[in-house]
A = this chain, B = another copy of it.
């Protein structure tokens, strides 16, 4: 029951070759004996939430583009399926084998790192951890334009492969806004190394293939290194936590924040009453209001000048109070000072897991439908709440960019939720012009739903493109584009 989200129960294993001792020996000849792991590989076969479990017999740790190329070339010849694995911090089972695919870990792809302070461009191998890159850039007053919960363990290659979003997308844009080039190994006969884009901000000398790899979830090739634009670290920061009465007021405050904080608006996060209660109860994070409000917003204003940030936030908040949009609120200035507020927001994903078995839905919705689903599902499940063992229905997320994380917490997993609630939610979202995957990707979890509302021509083109890069379909099979 525990690994219910795995999709292997729905599928037949494809006729990929089963790994032999000869194959393992050959892999050892490429990467060295110590970098082919056959024992104690549980943590590679399983995600951190313990939702998905693969049955791989072997993990490879290549150290260079050439080693990856040699592995892929051999796998092409022998018809061996591969799952590329970065930090393994995903939530949709994209980096976990479905059956016995070998795992190609990018952990040792961390030889090359360079940063050019004159252009702000960083070039590095795919295995560098996001936070670690930030530490290196900090000496130059720069940082990466992505910030997400997993930053202490996710790899930059995985961030690009999944088009990672996070809490600062509203200011810095998504991966497409900041990627300039990358090298990837594709699964053709030669295990070709494709060198795409450049370390230039403007380059229009070919099709922009780099961007095709953004969000491709390891289906087109294995990203070996990336060239990205870093951004100057803000010198000032002002963060507020606002207690809100209605969702309508949240929308109005968003509109105001965009026009008043404008280029300094770096986060606009949203939490509803139920998630706030959950955070308080299960993570012991204090919510600094007399009583838990209907909704809370975390709004951050950051920029190159401390005084300007606090002044802008101050003016913005007085305006919100004057308009009677905000019930109560606190505001902090400075990076350390904001931690208390961010602990609440960051407590959300941690707390839901502590309360029970959690179903996470990561979706984009137009703002007019953003919070509608929450009530819709509450009503739908009202009478069966007891029977389904539902403990809580709650939402939080990135209201600033229309990305809601809707959570259903139950005592234990039940088939009814998989069979009834899943398709209901995904259809509802598509019918309301939303996306069933905002920033978590498709992976195993959503493979059966990704075609809802999609044009068949587009799907056919995606499949043909997949076939160009991976003619035998050995890269991350059974998921996403197949």
Q: Which residues of A are at the interface with B, using a C-beta cutoff of 8 A?
A: 116-120, 141, 162-163, 165, 169, 171, 173-174, 176-178, 186, 192-196, 198-209, 211-212, 214-216, 219-220, 232, 234, 251, 254-255, 258-264, 303-305, 308, 312, 364-368, 398, 401-403, 433-442, 446, 450, 454-455, 457-459, 461-462, 464-466, 468-469, 481
Whether B207 lies near A212 (C-beta < 8 A) is: yes
Partner of A438, one of B162, B199, B202, B462: B202
A118 to chain B, nearest CB (A): 5
Q: Of residues A193, A200, A260, A434, which shows the largest number of chain B Cβ atoms within 10 Å of its Cβ? A: A200
Residue of B nearest to A174 (CB): B202
Whether A461 lies near B450 (C-beta < 8 A) is: no
Residue of B nearest to A255 (CB): B118
A104 to chain B, nearest CB (A): 20
Residue of B nearest to A162 (CB): B204
Whether A206 lies near B459 (C-beta < 8 A) is: yes
Q: Roughly how many angstroms separate A433 CA and B193 CA in the complex, as a whole number?
A: 19
Whether A481 lies near B177 (C-beta < 8 A) is: no
Q: Can you report 14 A-B residue pairs in the complex whose CB atoms are below 8 A from each other?
A: A117-B255, A173-B177, A194-B455, A199-B433, A200-B433, A203-B364, A203-B437, A206-B454, A206-B458, A206-B459, A206-B462, A209-B461, A264-B304, A305-B312
Chain B positions within 8 Å of A365 at CB level = 200
Whether A364 lies near B119 (C-beta < 8 A) is: no
Chain B positions within 8 Å of A173 at CB level = 173, 177-178
Whether B401 lies near A202 (C-beta < 8 A) is: yes
Chain B positions within 8 Å of A304 at CB level = 259-264, 312
Chain B positions within 8 Å of A438 at CB level = 200, 202-204
Since A201-B402, A461-B469 are in contact, a sample of 9 more A-B pairs with Cβ atoms closer than 8 Å, ordered by chain A residue number, is A163-B204, A194-B455, A198-B435, A200-B365, A204-B435, A206-B458, A206-B481, A208-B214, A232-B258
Chain B positions within 8 Å of A436 at CB level = 205
